[in-house]
Structure 1
Amino acid sequence: MVSERDFPCWRNGVLTGAWRRPGNNSAHEEGTIHDDATAQALGFRGGTIAGSIHMEQFPPLMTRHFGEGWHRSGSLSLWFRTPSYDTEPVRAFLSPLPGGRATVWLENTGGTRVLDGSASIGAPDGDAMVSQKLRDLRPPGDIRMLRHVQVGRSVRDVPTRVAQRDIDVRLPILTEQDPAFEDPSRWGGTLVPLSAVIHALRVVEPPLAPVQGAEGGEFVGLFGAITLQFLNGPMVAERDYRVRGRVVAVADTPKTEMFWYEAIASDPVTGQDIVSTLHMSRLMKASSRVWAGEVA
């Protein structure tokens, strides 16, 4: 019998993770997509789990397939397709491709894909899942919530730092544990979980995308896609970094407006770039007064 400790394991050429039940640790954040009442008013079954939390199911597959070097020069690129909810079982998969690349995905028990993506090790992957989606964007249509967000807008030297206490608080909600989250001996500092890396690089969002300053005020947003690329990783706790960012696209769908940005964290002492993200956020039209009555 296969036990939980035997995962990830290979099945018919596919590296398969264990079933996990990630919790909605942001359910208390009223007025967000993670709050049951807000999400249900927008047509969701309940408060949704943040996409960055689902990223945490992939490092065991990454290191099993690519080795620990993935934490230094690996990428994980995810396109979120279907919401998942508190403690809903989901499982991660990896299918190898030539050239140090792989296809990855996450499924629920009904076989529905929660997300699709790609992974790699080595040089940054120009054909990562999210990069492909960005290239396929059509020109934006009627942009209202994001009318003040300018493609090409950039910021530099935004400070960020992940405290060990922030990792310690996060540990109980992570579906996958790594001794390096608490032991600094492997990486010269305690390893920052992927979801905390994403949060640390989001410090560029307020100056890049002043959505709340736009007409209409409040809005409800959710992650649409994330690529994380280690350049000289990993990111470790209790170390200062500087983040630069740039808006790369603004777009829309019938129900959302979207903005895409890239962010790169560097070590201010060595000048080395450590990790980058390409991030797409969706803003629900039905949540904003500028779209009131026009979107079901």
Structure 2
Amino acid sequence: MSNPFGQTATFLAGPLRQPRQMLADQKYDGHKSIHDDAMAEGLGLRAGPIEGPTHFSQFDPLLFQTFGEEWFRTGCISAHYQNMVVEGESVRAFVERPAPGAKFVRLFAQKADGTPVLTGSASIGDAGAHPHELQQRIARLRPATGLVINRDLKVGQRGARPETIRMGFDQHMGDHYPFTLNDKLKVITEPSDWYTAEGATKTSPWGRPIIPTEMISVLLGSTIAQAELGGRKPAVGLFAGQEIRLIDGPLFVDQDYALEREIIALSESARTESVWVRTKVYELPTRKLVAEMILNGATMKASYPHYAQEARELGLPVA
């Protein structure tokens, strides 16, 4: 039968959602983060932004529609964050309609007025000849020659100590993430029975609750301070880009995991210095590799009080 409406839309579109701010009380290195309104305003922002991976939840239904259950087994989402979102703003997710049998798609999110929020890609299994968003950006990086905040860090540097983590429903995830999984599930933009203990027992293919994609970032970020892969302090950072890849997923609630971290790139822009860290996730006790995350953590130069003085001492130009 021919399509009476002509060519179908190029992208699947989700509903407009208003994600919630969960990090207003986030602390690290003894100070509030960029998600605090006062801290954000002091750095020239209008309010504390919502953390970037919060938007990943809006893609899960679209990517499940695209790839089916395999999305939660071997899915990868890779995103460059473009513009910050504050609580009360509406966001819509878009996913490219793939050709039959394709395992790789482009995606993006934008505010109700069309302002871009993020751009990126997603895949299942082996994406083949299609490099993901962050992989393309890393390949284009130029050597960082003017680092001040991150000048003590090196590509190839590994986390200082082993990290063992888990996420329970009522487990407080620490100063970096001052809320619980249950807190998030009360306000998550796209609820699912597979995320809950009762629902997963009845309907999940795995018979146990899985961790939502956006909360994988929380799980892996909750112990990041132990890795000692940050720059000079005090300084305020933000997520500039992020890739979460499931290798043998999903990740489960109340499951122990071990983390290994490594700096894979250092970069700089006019306003920030970035550390690109790859985190490998191993299921315990088997030590099976089950997931990886690449995070571009950008530190704002203006937030480091010694930046101008130390740049001059290093013979670097100061804007």
TM-score normalized with structure 2 length:
0.83
Show structure 2 runs of 5+ residues with no match: 1-6, 171-179, 312-317
**Matches of residues 92-111 of structure 1 in structure 2 within 5 Å?**
92-98=93-99, 99-111=102-114
Paired residue for 1:173? 187
CA distance in 1, matches of 2:95, 2:164: 34
Q: 8 Å contact 1:162–1:196 — kept in the other structure? A: no
Q: CA deviation at 1:189?
A: 2.3
Paired residue for 1:210? 230
Q: For 1:22-81, what per-residue CA distance to the aligned partner results, in whole angstroms no more than 9, with x for missing partners? A: 121212346311111111111111111100111111101110111011100011011001
Paired residue for 1:142? 146
Q: Which moved more, 1:119-128 or 1:138-147?
A: 119-128
State which of 208, 211, 224 in structure 2 corresponds to 1:189: 208
Q: For 1:210-260, what per-residue CA distance to the aligned partner results, in whole angstroms no more than 9, with x for missing partners? A: 33xx3xx21111001111110000000111011111100111101000000
Q: For 1:250-282, what per-residue CA distance to the aligned partner results, in whole angstroms no more than 9, with x for missing partners? A: 111010000001011111233321111111011
CA distance in 2, matches of 1:188, 1:198: 23
Q: CA deviation at 1:157?
A: 3.9
CA distance in 1, matches of 2:214, 2:162: 21
Q: 8 Å contact 2:25–2:32 — kept in the other structure? A: no
CA distance in 2, matches of 1:75, 1:66: 11
Q: For 1:123-179, what per-residue CA distance to the aligned partner results, in whole angstroms no more than 9, with x for missing partners? A: 256601011001111111321111222210113742010112232121123111010
Q: CA deviation at 1:110?
A: 1.6
Q: 8 Å contact 1:63–1:70 — kept in the other structure? A: yes
State which of 161, 178, 200 in structure 1 corresponds to 2:219: 200
Q: Which moved more, 1:249-258 or 1:193-202?
A: 193-202
* 3-state DSSP of counterpart to 1:132: helix
Count of matched residue pairs: 283
Report sequence identity in percent: 28
State which of 147, 150, 164 in structure 1 corresponds to 2:169: 164
Paired residue for 1:117? 120
Q: CA RMSD in A?
A: 2.0
* 3-state DSSP of counterpart to 2:58: coil
Q: 8 Å contact 1:162–1:200 — kept in the other structure? A: yes
Q: CA deviation at 1:87?
A: 1.8
Q: CA deviation at 1:204?
A: 4.2
CA distance in 1, matches of 2:151, 2:208: 41
Q: 8 Å contact 2:227–2:261 — kept in the other structure? A: no
Larger Rg computed on CA atoms: 2
State which of 112, 128, 133 in structure 2 corresponds to 1:129: 133
**Matches of residues 49-60 of structure 1 in structure 2 within 5 Å?**
49-60=50-61
Q: 8 Å contact 2:163–2:226 — kept in the other structure? A: no
CA distance in 1, matches of 2:225, 2:277: 8
Q: Which moved more, 1:154-163 or 1:104-113?
A: 154-163
State which of 13, 18, 28 in structure 1 corresponds to 2:15: 18
State which of 252, 255, 261 in structure 1 corresponds to 2:268: 252
CA distance in 2, matches of 1:227, 1:59: 14
Task: Return the letter of the residue paired with 2:83.
Answer: T
Show structure 1 runs of 5+ residues with no match: 1-9
* 3-state DSSP of counterpart to 1:85: coil
TM-score normalized with structure 1 length:
0.89
**Residues 1:282 and 2:302 aligned together:** no
Q: Which moved more, 1:119-128 or 1:276-285?
A: 119-128
CA distance in 2, matches of 1:259, 1:290: 19
Q: 8 Å contact 1:242–1:266 — kept in the other structure? A: yes
* 3-state DSSP of counterpart to 1:57: helix
Q: CA deviation at 1:292?
A: 4.6
Q: CA deviation at 1:122?
A: 1.2
Q: 8 Å contact 1:208–1:245 — kept in the other structure? A: no
Q: 8 Å contact 1:208–1:246 — kept in the other structure? A: no
